[in-house]
Amino acid sequence: MSEEYRSSGKTTLAPEVLLTIARISALNVDGVSKLATNHGNLDRFFKSGNDNSVQVTVEDDVVYIELYVILKKDFNVREVSRNIQSQVSRAISEMVGMEVGHVNVHIEDINYQDE
């Protein structure tokens, strides 16, 4: 009996998958109210429906993430930021097996309204 070798194929990952993983991971961190819009990004004027609260760049199979968030009141900003970085990095590594170069967290505002 001879065994025939078959290639296991190729897996491609849409960039939206990385965006979704980062977005959901950040929103699940205690102290995060919602994601904010990056007001400094001029591309938002030219792309309709573009949600630029999460920006993902992949270079040489390393993922770089920029997150723009609004935090809840009465939470330690430094602690929440570190938790966001940890959770997003872990989720990307575990779910897609890619190395994370950095997760930069940009605190855009604090939500002081009653929830």
Mean pLDDT of 69-95: 97
Q: How many CB atoms lie within 10 A of CB 25?
A: 23
| pTM, entire model | 0.81
DSSP-based three-state secondary structure for 93 = helix
- In the numeric block, which tokens belong to residue 95? 């779910």
Fold held by 15-39+50-111? Alpha-Beta Plaits (3.30.70)
pLDDT tens for each residue of 8-66: 888 888 889 999 999 999 999 999 999 998 766 555 444 434 468 999 999 998 999 99
Q: Residue 60: which of 100, 2, 24, 88 has the closest Cα?
A: 100
Domain boundaries, the chain: 15-39+50-111
- In the numeric block, which tokens belong to residue 26? 């950040």
